[in-house]
Amino acid sequence: MTGFDPVALSLGVATGSTILTLVVGLPLARAMASRSSILSRIAEGLIMLPMVLPPTVTGYILLSLFGRHGPFGSALDALGIHIVFTRTAAVIASATVSLPLMYQSCKSAILSVDPLFARAAGTLGAGPARIFFRVELPLALPGIIGGMALAFARGFGEFGATLMLAGNIPGLTQTLPLAIYGAVESGDEPRARFLLGATVVIAFAIVIVVSVAEGRSRRQGGKGRNRA
């Protein structure tokens, strides 16, 4: 096992989890933005739950769902797919915990787009899909990128739920936070400091990249607005 294993793993897991939260969170946010029924409120509560629950509890719930005896776990087991203690498990744990951040950011970004633009596009003959991809999405992009940044950051630092569902297996599922915890627990201070340094460098790089990307897309969004 090399010292950089957990660093690469954490970057991969956070990337996978961000993609997963975007694919799940953006359509959910789009669907919920125009709904206010009791049922949709309940669904929204469920999406937001991992934000409130301690991550270990979220991890335990995921473990009960994806374990061999759980509803998802037993179904997947029949297909020969095992989730618990794999990197997929690390992605699922991170994604579950960061979904609320992605969902909320996307929803407020979509709600902040003036409905007038969508209606105008409609009168010019654009269908719902086209309106979403050509009008709403570009205008909501800065907020969505902000949501991706938050989801990535939360996924990168995920500990509790990951420990439960993916375990703490060096080289397989031991992400950066788990490796730091392990190094501290075993009194390996040089390793702990090395990993800590790597975390700070990466976190700082993420912050810079995000603020640059957000600034750029905000400027482009502004241009789009003028054209519309």
Is 70 among the residues that bind another protein (CB under 8 A)?
Answer: yes
Q: Which of 34, 40, 112, 186 binds another protein (CB under 8 A)?
A: 186
Smaller CB separation from another protein, 47 or 83: 83
Is 96 among the residues that bind another protein (CB under 8 A)?
Answer: no
Whether 150 contacts 101, CB under 8 Å: yes
Smaller CB separation from another protein, 70 or 138: 70
Q: Which of 5, 11, 19, 221 binds another protein (CB under 8 A)?
A: 19
Whole-number minimum distance, CB 71 to another protein, in Å? 12
Q: Which of 73, 100, 142, 157 binds another protein (CB under 8 A)?
A: 73
Is 196 among the residues that bind another protein (CB under 8 A)?
Answer: no
Whole-number minimum distance, CB 164 to another protein, in Å? 7
Is 134 among the residues that bind another protein (CB under 8 A)?
Answer: no
Is 108 among the residues that bind another protein (CB under 8 A)?
Answer: no
Print the SS3 string covering the chain: CCCCHHHHHHHHHHHHHHHHHHHHHHHHHHHHHCCCCHHHHHHHHHHHHHHHCCHHHHHHHHHHHHCCCCHHHHHHHHCCCCCCCCHHHHHHHHHHHHHHHHHHHHHHHHHCCCHHHHHHHHHCCCCHHHHHHHHHHHHHHHHHHHHHHHHHHHHHCCCHHHHHHHCCCCCCCCCHHHHHHHHHHCCCHHHHHHHHHHHHHHHHHHHHHHHHHHHHHHHHHHHHHHHC
Whole-number minimum distance, CB 50 to another protein, in Å? 18
Q: Can you tell me which residue has the tokens 């203690």?
A: 85
| Span near another protein by CB under 8 A; candidates 29-37, 65-73, 146-154, 211-219 | 65-73
Is 30 among the residues that bind another protein (CB under 8 A)?
Answer: no
Q: Which of 85, 117, 118, 218 binds another protein (CB under 8 A)?
A: 85
| Span near another protein by CB under 8 A; candidates 30-38, 104-112, 150-158, 185-193 | 185-193
Is 177 among the residues that bind another protein (CB under 8 A)?
Answer: no
Q: How many residues bind another protein (CB under 8 A)?
A: 38
Residue type, 215: G
Rounded (10°) angle between helices 87-111 and 55-66: 120
DSSP character at residue 188: -
Whole-number minimum distance, CB 39 to another protein, in Å? 26
